[in-house]
Amino acid sequence: MIHSLFLINSSGDIFLEKHWKSVVSRSVCDYFFEAQERATEAENVPPVIPTPHHYLLSVYRHKIFFVAVIQTEVPPLFVIEFLHRVVDTFQDYFGVCSEPVIKDNVVVVYEVLEEMLDNGFPLATESNILKELIKPPTILRTVVNTITGSTNVGDQLPTGQLSVVPWRRTGVKYTNNEAYFDVIEEIDAIIDKSGSTITAEIQGVIDACVKLTGMPDLTLSFMNPRLLDDVSFHPCVRFKRWESERILSFIPPDGNFRLLSYHVSAQNLVAIPVYVKHSISFRDSSSLGRFEITVGPKQTMGKTIEGVIVTSQMPKGVLNMSLTPSQGTHTFDPVTKMLSWDVGKINPQKLPSLKGTMSLQAGASKPDENPTINLQFKIQQLAISGLKVNRLDMYGEKYKPFKGIKYMTKAGKFQVRT
Amino acid sequence: MSAAPAYGEDKGGSAGPGEPEYGHDPASGGIFSSDYKRHDDLKEMLDTNKDSLKLEAMKRIVAMIARGKNASDLFPAVVKNVACKNIEVKKLVYVYLVRYAEEQQDLALLSISTFQRGLKDPNQLIRASALRVLSSIRVPIIVPIMMLAIKEAASDMSPYVRKTAAHAIPKLYSLDSDQKDQLIEVIEKLLADKTTLVAGSVVMAFEEVCPERIDLIHKNYRKLCNLLIDVEEWGQVVIISMLTRYARTQFLSPTQNESLLEENPEKAFYGSEEDEAKGPGSEEAATTALPARKPYVMDPDHRLLLRNTKPLLQSRSAAVVMAVAQLYFHLAPKAEVGVIAKALVRLLRSHSEVQYVVLQNVATMSIKRRGMFEPYLKSFYIRSTDPTQIKILKLEVLTNLANETNIPTVLREFQTYIRSMDKDFVAATIQAIGRCATNIGRVRDTCLNGLVQLLSNRDELVVAESVVVIKKLLQMQPAQHGEIIKHLAKLTDNIQVPMARASILWLIGEYCEHVPKIAPDVLRKMAKSFTAEEDIVKLQVINLAAKLYLTNSKQTKLLTQYVLSLAKYDQNYDIRDRARFTRQLIVPSEQGGALSRHAKKLFLAPKPAPVLESSFKDRDHFQLGSLSHLLNAKATGYQELPDWPEEAPDPSVRNVEVPEWTKCSNREKRKEKEKPFYSDSEGESGPTESADSDPGSESASDSKSSDQSGSEESSSESESEDQEEEKGESSESEQSEEEGGKSKMKKRKKVAEGQGSSSDEGSGPSSSSSESERTSETEGEQMEPASWRKKTPPSGKSAPVAKEISLLDLEDFTPPSVQPVSPSTIVSTSLATDLEGLTLTDSPLVPSLLSPVSGVGRQELLHRVAGEGLAVDYTFSRQPFSGDPHMVSVHIHFSNSSDTPIKGLHVGTPKLPAGISIQEFPEIESLAPGESVTAVMGINFCDSTQAANFQLCTQTRQFYVSIQPPVGELMAPVFMSENDFKKEQGKLTGMSEVTEKLTLPDTCRSDHIVVQKVTTIANLGRVPCGASDEYRFAGRTLTSGSLVLLTLDARPTGAAQLTINSEKMVIGTMLVKDVVQALTQ
C-alpha cells in the first residue's frame, strides 16, 4: 500500500523521508514539484499525481506537504485519510505540527511512523495506543530518562490493542474525575447581494474531554435528537443504541476526542445570526471607489456576538484603501489585496461599521466582480440549531464524576456576496 | 531528548567536535576532536557498553536516515546491537536494519538468529515485532525462515501476532512469488480467524497475494459481514472493497429488471427514486417498466452485506464512508442507493483533499443517478474561498444535476460565478453553461444570449471560451442566428486567442450563406495576417477560403489562391499538406476532375452538432472510490469489477458446512440451546464449570465408549451456531454476565435430560480450559468437517442412548487432563477471543499443534452415520508403498454396517493442493452388509502436512473426505551407525536445527517407553548409541529423501533436550512439537 512518505516544506525541501518497503528515490518528488509549480497555489496541487511508476498522493497541512508514494491500486481516500491521521497524531504528540517541531523530534516521529504502518498497511493509529507504545516527549520525561536510563518506548503490547475497546487504555486513574463536552456548531452560509440566504447549513461537533478513572460507560441523551440529520461517530459509540433509542452510549477514550459530528441540513431553516450591509462601488472613470460595510445582529436569541472578523479578497485593481472603522482594527495588505477587519463584539446599540475609499489603479478598467466578504464570529452558550443535551449518565464505575457541557456557535464558511 | 543536537550534527556534516554533551565522556572526547573518518564517533559510541551512548548514536543515525542521508557504512556497527537489552536501542536498530538490510544482505544475516529467538519470546509484543522485522528484511536467502515464521505465527495464540503474520504475507510474496501456494494456505487459515484484529489484515494480504481466489471467501463471507462493524477502519475499507467484488460474482443484479429503464436514465431516476421529484415522464416510465418486471428475490447473503455495511456510513473515516458508498452504488437496488448521498455530502465538509476525491466520485454517480443528489444541490454551491480544483469539480456536479426544474437556480448561480476573479474557473463555468444549454432545450436561447453578452467581456479568456461554446451551440440551430455570427465576425479584429479565432472562422465558413456579405471581407483580413497566425487558425483560414471559393467564387477566387500559395510555403507540414489537398479538391485541374465536382458536397456537408458531454461519463466502469477511477486509467494492480453473473452461482457454498445427519435434527431445539452454550463459554470462571466440563473432555479423549454422534453433533452445532451467534455479538457481551448464572442452571437441567444434552457436553472442553481452546480453535478452523471427524476415536457399536448415561456416570473418574484436540470447533465471539488474548498475555506460550497427535492407530475417515452405513477408517501402515517409494501407504478399512450391499467403491476426482498426488486403490466392486475389506492407497504428501482431500464414491453417493498426515508419518526409517549419524548431524546445524527443552514425567523415564513413544509418533529408526541417556533416531522424508535426525538427551533428573536436525525446517519444527507433546504426557 503506502510505499514511502516524504515531508516537504513550502520552500520545496524534503526534510523527512520514511520508507516502509524498498527505498524509493526521492527524485520521485520531482513530479510533485512540477505539479506544484503548475498549480501556483499550494491548495491547488492535485492530491493525486500519477507518475510513470508511482502515484503520489499528498495532503497539505500546516504549510507542509505530506506526500505518500504508492505503487498499486489503493482507494485514494484510504491514503489521504491516513495522512491526515498522521498529521493529527503529530499534533497530538507535539502540540503543534510544524517543520521545526518535526525536525526536533525526528526520532519520535520516526518511531511513531514505524508503529503506524507495517508494510504500508496501517497497524496502530489510535492515539491512545500509540502513546503507550511510544510516549510523547515531555520535559519531565526527558529528565527522568536521562537519569534513570529508561526509555520512551513501551515494552508491553498496549492492552487496548487487543481489547474490544482499542481506543481506551486500561488502568486509567485520576484524582479528579471529570467529563466535559463541548457542543460546537458552525454555520456554513452563502448570503447573496440582497441579503437573502442562498444556502445555509449547520455542521456541529461534540468534542469531549473525558478524564475518568477505570472503564466508565457513559450515555448521553438529547432533548431533541431528531434535529440531527446526519451523524458520524467516534468508533466508541454503539451504533445500535443510537438507531433504536437515539442515545449515545459509549466507553470513552481517555483524554480529548471528537465524539460525534452532525449535520443539520439545508432543508431546515437556519437562523442567520448576523447581517452585513455593504455598499462597494467602483466607478469606471474615476480612480477612487467607495467602500462601506456595517455588521449587525439578527436572530441571536439574545446572545452577544463576539470575535467578529471580516475578511475580503479585494480585486487586483485596488491599490490601497483608506478606511476608518467605528470600532476594532483593520489591515489591508496591498500585495495579497486582503482586507481584514477585526471587529470584536457587536454592540446592538451602536453597530460597527467600516467606511472609506479605495484607490484604484489608474487607467485600469473597473473590476467585474465585487469582492465577497467572509465573516467569522462566535456566540457563546448557544447552539444555533437548538440542540440540547438532556443528561449524561455513567455506569460501570462507582465514583461521581464532574460533568460539564458547553455550547458554542461559530461561523463556518460564511460568505456574503456583494 | 537530544534529537536536536543530533540534527545539528547532521547539518554541520561529520565535523562536529562541538558536542558539549559528550565532551565529558572520556571515551568519546578524544575521538571527537580528531574526527576525519566519517561516522567514526558513532561507531565508537555503538561499541561502548553504555546504553545511553548507544541510544544517542542510534538516534543520530535515525535522524540521518530520516533526512535521506546515507548511513549504510555503519551497518556492521549497528547490527551488532540487534540483541541489545535496551528496548529503544533495539527498536532503532530494527528501523536501521529494515532500511539497509537489502543493501547489505550478508551482514543482515547475522541478525536473523536474534529474531528467531524473538519469535519464541513469551511477550507477544516482542514476538510480533521480531516477525515484523524479520519479514521486512528483504533478503531472499531467508525466505524459508520467513515462511516458517509466518506459518508458526499464524497459529499463535495472540491475535496481535496473528495480525502481524497476516501483514508479513504480502511482504514475503513480494520477495518471492514462488511461495504463493504456501502463502495461500496461510491466508486460508487466517481467513477463518474470528478476531476482528486479524480480519482486516488478512483480507489485505488476500487482495495482494491471491485476489483471484474468490473461492476462499465463500466460507468466511458471512463471518466477515458480521465482524465488519468491529474491525478497525482501515480493515473495513479493504474488506468492503473486496466484498464488493465478491458480491458482483456471486449474486444476481438487483437492477436486472430495471435494465429497460437504465437505457433511459433521464426517466429512470424519476421512476424509481424520488417520489417528490416525480415529473410528468415518471408515470410513463413506471408503467412501461412494471409489466416487464419479473419477481426478483435478493439472495439473503446479498441483503446481509447491504444491511451490515449501512451503519458504516456513519463512520468518522472518510475512506470507510466512501467504501460503503461505492458498495451501495455497485450492489444495491436503485431504490436503496439514495442513502449514501447524505453521507457523501457530509464528507464535503472535510479537508480539501477529501473533498477532491469525493467530488470526483459524486460527479460520476450524479450522471447515472441524478435524483440521488438533487436534494443536496445547494451543498455543491461554490464559495470564492474554495481551491480552483474543487470549484471545477463542484461545477461539474452542478451541471450534472441541472434539469428542467432547477435550471433557473443553477443558471443564477452560474451567473455569479462568471464574475469571479478566478479565470480558470470562469472558463469552466462557461463550458458548464454550454452543457446545460445543450442538455436542456428550454434554456438554450437564454444561455446563448447570456454567452453572447459575455462576448463583450473585457477578459479575453472569457470571450474566447464563450466563442468556443457559442460555436458548439450554434451548430444546433444555425438558421436563426445570423446576427450572432455577424457579431462574432466583428470580434476577429480584437480577439487573439487562437482557439476562439479558429472557432469564429469555422462558423463563418460553415454558415457563409447566412452572412454572404461579411464572409469574404473576413477572409480578406485573414489573408492579410495569415503568416502571423497560429497553426490552428491557419488551417481554419484555408478551410474558410475553400468554402467561400465553392459558394462565392466570383469574389474570393483570387483571395483563395493567395491564401493557398501562402500556405504552400508554410513551415508547418500539416498546413502545406492541407493546402495541397484543398487545392486539388476545389480547383479543377486537367486530370482529376472527379472529386472536384463533388467538392461542394464534401466541404459543405451538413455536420452533426457536437454533444457536450461530461468527462465523467462512463467512468463508473471503474470501481468507484478506486485510484483508477480517479485517474480514469487503469492503475497497476487494479482488479476489474466483474459484471453481474447471468445465473446466480450456487449460494450454498457460503454455508458453513453442517454435516448431513444433523439436518434431520430439530432446529428449534438447537436454537434453544444456544444461549447456555455461549454464555457458558464466556463465563469460564463459574463454579459449576468444572463439573460440566469433565464429561465433555472425557467424551473427546479416551472413552472409546463415548457416543460418537454426540460429540459430532456438538461440533456441527457449534459451527452453525457460530454464524447465528456472531450476529448478536455486540449485545452478547453485555448480557453474558448476568445470563451466565441463569444459563448454567438451565444447562444442568439439560444434562439430566440425557440425550438432548449432548451438545452441551461437547462444548465442555472448549470452555473448560483456554489451552485446549487455543489449539482447537486454530485447528478446527482450518479443517473441513470431514477431517475433524477422523480425530475422534473410532466408535464402538454400542447404542448411543445407553452410552450417554454412562458418560455422565464416568465424570468423576476422568482425569482432568487437557486434551490437545477438542472435537468441537470453538465458538467465540470476537469479544470473547479478544478478551482471552488479553487475559492470557502473561501465560507462557502454549505449543500449538499443527497436526493432530496420532499414533499408528486407526483414524476415522468416514463415520458410518455420515456414510449411510459405510464406515471407513484408515491407518498409516508404515510399509513402503509398492508403486512409488515417495508415497505414504495408507490402509483403508471399509466396513458396511447397512443392510444393503455397497457397490462400486472408488476414489473420485481428488482436489489436491499443489504437489500432492494420490495413487488410488482399485475399485471395490461390492461390499456385502456386515463385511469389511481393506484397501491400500498411496499418497505423496510432498513432505507437507497438507490434507489430501478427495471424494469417496459409491454407486449412489459421494463423500468428501480428507486425510491429513501427522508429520511423523511423512518419513521412513533409515539405519545408520553412530558415526554416520554424527557426521550427518554436523552438516545440519544452524537453521536446520531445532532444539526444545522438556521435562520427562516420571512415567516415561525408562528406555523402553521413551523409544516406544518416539517411534509411535514418528516413523524413525533407532540409531545405536553409546551413552545410556541419549537416544538417537534417524529417518528420511519420503518425497525429497531429506534426512531427519532426532536426538533426545535425557538426564536422570527428568530434564531433557530434544534436537531435530533436518533440512526441512517445517518438518523439524512440527516434529519437535509432536514429540515433546507425546513425551510429556
Could you tell me the CATH number of the domain that includes residue A27? Answer: 3.30.450.60
pLDDT at B17: 39
- CATH no. of B856-965: 2.60.40.1150
Of the candidates B311, B314, B626, the beta carbon closest to that of A73 is on B626
B62 half-sphere exposure, CB direction, 13 A CA radius: 33
> Are A266 and B420 inside 8 Å of each other by CB?
no
Residue A315: closest C-alpha in chain B? B421
pTM of the model: 0.67
Q: Chain B: nearest CA to A224, how far in angstroms?
A: 19
> Are B383 and A162 inside 8 Å of each other by CB?
no
Q: Chain A: nearest CA to B513, how far in angstroms?
A: 37
Domain ranges of chain B: 40-253, 402-477, 483-607, 856-965, 969-1080
A99 and A230 part of one domain: no
Q: How far is CA B388 from CA A393, B241, B253, B385, in A?
A: 47, 30, 39, 9
Q: Chain A: nearest CA to B226, how far in angstroms?
A: 14
Residue A95 maps to a domain: yes
Contacts of A188 in chain B (CB under 8 A): 349
Q: Which amino acid is at B969?
A: E
Confidence of residue A406 (pLDDT cuts 50, 70, 90): very high
Contacts of B349 in chain A (CB under 8 A): 188, 203, 263
Q: What are phi and psi of A63, to 5 degrees?
A: 60, 25
Closest to B848 measured CA to CA, from B1070, B1081, B1080, B1078: B1070
Residue A165 maps to a domain: no
Q: Which three cell numbers stand for residue B1004?
A: 516415561
Contacts of A107 in chain B (CB under 8 A): 3, 6, 59, 62-63, 92
pLDDT at B236: 92
> Are B421 and A23 inside 8 Å of each other by CB?
no
> Are B353 and A58 inside 8 Å of each other by CB?
yes
Of the candidates B1, B237, B730, the beta carbon closest to that of A78 is on B237
As for how many domains chain A has, the answer is: 3
> Are A106 and B343 inside 8 Å of each other by CB?
no
Residue A163 maps to a domain: no
Interface contacts A/B by beta carbons within 8 Å: 279
Of the candidates B132, B159, B353, the beta carbon closest to that of A118 is on B132
pLDDT at B469: 85
A249 and A302 part of one domain: no
Mean pLDDT, each 10-residue run in order, chain B (1081 residues): 41 39 40 52 81 84 86 83 80 86 82 84 84 86 88 87 90 87 88 86 89 86 88 90 89 67 41 39 42 66 89 89 91 86 87 91 87 86 88 91 87 85 86 86 82 77 81 74 78 79 84 81 86 88 87 82 87 88 76 69 76 76 87 84 81 65 40 36 37 39 41 43 43 44 45 42 41 41 42 42 38 40 39 37 36 54 76 81 77 80 76 74 79 81 78 78 81 81 80 80 76 82 75 83 83 80 80 82 74
> Are A48 and B631 inside 8 Å of each other by CB?
yes
CA angle A412, A413, A417 (to 5 degrees): 140
Architecture of domain B969-1080: 2-Layer Sandwich (3.30)
pLDDT at B688: 36
Confidence of residue A154 (pLDDT cuts 50, 70, 90): low
Measured between alpha carbons, how far is B166 from B154 in angstroms, rounded to an integer?
A: 7
A41 and A134 part of one domain: yes
Contacts of A59 in chain B (CB under 8 A): 351, 353
- Return the axis-axis angle of helices B498-510 and B482-491, rounded to nearest 10°: 140
Work out whether the CA dihedral A112, A115, A121, A125 comes out positive or negative.
negative
Write down the residue that cell numbers 507518475 correspond to: A51
pLDDT at A378: 92
Burial-class residue A123 by CB neighbours within 10 Å (0-12, 13-18, 19+): buried
pLDDT at A57: 92
CA angle B787, B793, B798 (to 5 degrees): 120
Q: Chain B: nearest CA to A185, how far in angstroms?
A: 13
Using DSSP, state whether B642 is helix, strand or coil.
Answer: coil
> Are B319 and A201 inside 8 Å of each other by CB?
no
> Are B66 and A17 inside 8 Å of each other by CB?
yes
Substitution target in A83, A88, A118 with the highest count of B β-carbons within 10 Å is: A118
A332 and A223 part of one domain: no
Closest to B369 measured CA to CA, from B240, B249, B258, B253: B258
Of the candidates B7, B351, B730, the beta carbon closest to that of A106 is on B7
Answer yes or no: is pLDDT of A67 > 90. yes
Are B328 and A246 in contact by the 8 Å Cβ rule? The answer is: no
> Are A121 and B167 inside 8 Å of each other by CB?
yes
Contacts of A83 in chain B (CB under 8 A): 353
pLDDT at B325: 92
CA angle B781, B787, B791 (to 5 degrees): 100
Are B145 and B116 in contact by the 8 Å Cβ rule? The answer is: yes
Substitution target in A85, A146, A162, A197 with the highest count of B β-carbons within 10 Å is: A162
CA angle B313, B319, B325 (to 5 degrees): 45
A256 and A133 part of one domain: no
Residue A166 maps to a domain: no
User: Out of A321-335, A359-373, B171-185, which region has the weakest mean confidence (pLDDT)?
Assistant: A359-373
Give the number of other CB atoms < 10 A from CB of residue B582: 23
Substitution target in A36, A104, A143, A164 with the highest count of B β-carbons within 10 Å is: A164
Q: For B491-518, how does the pLDDT look when each residue is reduced to its tens digit (9 = 90+)?
A: 777 777 888 888 888 888 888 777 788 8
Measured between alpha carbons, how far is B2 from B272 in angstroms, rounded to an integer?
A: 65
Q: Chain B: nearest CA to A369, how far in angstroms?
A: 5
pLDDT at A149: 57
> Are A123 and B167 inside 8 Å of each other by CB?
yes
pLDDT at A193: 84
> Are B86 and A151 inside 8 Å of each other by CB?
yes
Contacts of B126 in chain A (CB under 8 A): 155
Measured between alpha carbons, how far is B363 from B1032 in angstroms, rounded to an integer?
A: 73
Contacts of A191 in chain B (CB under 8 A): none
Residue A19: closest C-alpha in chain B? B99
Of the candidates B201, B314, B378, the beta carbon closest to that of A232 is on B314
Residue B339: closest C-alpha in chain A? A230
A116 and A67 part of one domain: yes
Architecture of domain B40-253: Alpha Horseshoe (1.25)
Q: Chain B: nearest CA to A150, how far in angstroms?
A: 8
A115 and A182 part of one domain: no
Contacts of A70 in chain B (CB under 8 A): 627
A15 and A139 part of one domain: yes
Beta strand B888-896 pairing with B870-876: antiparallel
Substitution target in A78, A185, A194 with the highest count of B β-carbons within 10 Å is: A78
A345 and A374 part of one domain: yes
Q: Chain A: nearest CA to B99, how far in angstroms?
A: 7
> Are B626 and A365 inside 8 Å of each other by CB?
no
A131 and A256 part of one domain: no
> Are A155 and B123 inside 8 Å of each other by CB?
yes
A258 and A327 part of one domain: no
> Are A81 and B67 inside 8 Å of each other by CB?
no
Query: Which domain range does residue A139 map to?
Result: 1-146
DSSP string covering B704-733: TTS-HHHHHHHHHHHHHHHHHHHHTHHHHH
Answer yes or no: is pLDDT of A285 > 70. no
Residue A170 maps to a domain: no
Residue A81 maps to a domain: yes
Q: Chain B: nearest CA to A315, how far in angstroms?
A: 7
Q: Indicate which CATH number applies to the domain containing A297.
A: 2.60.40.1170
Strand partners, A206: A183, A260
Burial-class residue B922 by CB neighbours within 10 Å (0-12, 13-18, 19+): exposed
Residue A168 maps to a domain: no
> Are B237 and A159 inside 8 Å of each other by CB?
no
Contacts of A18 in chain B (CB under 8 A): 66
> Are B160 and A145 inside 8 Å of each other by CB?
no
A396 and A256 part of one domain: yes
Of the candidates A55, A164, A188, the beta carbon closest to that of B831 is on A164
> Are A199 and B379 inside 8 Å of each other by CB?
yes
Residue A365 maps to a domain: yes
Residue B196: closest C-alpha in chain A? A164
Instruction: Specify the higher pLDDT residue, B507 or A355.
Output: A355
Substitution target in B91, B329, B411 with the highest count of A β-carbons within 10 Å is: B91
Contacts of A363 in chain B (CB under 8 A): none
Substitution target in B126, B307, B314 with the highest count of A β-carbons within 10 Å is: B314
Percent helix, percent strand, percent coil in chain B, to nearest 5: 60, 10, 30
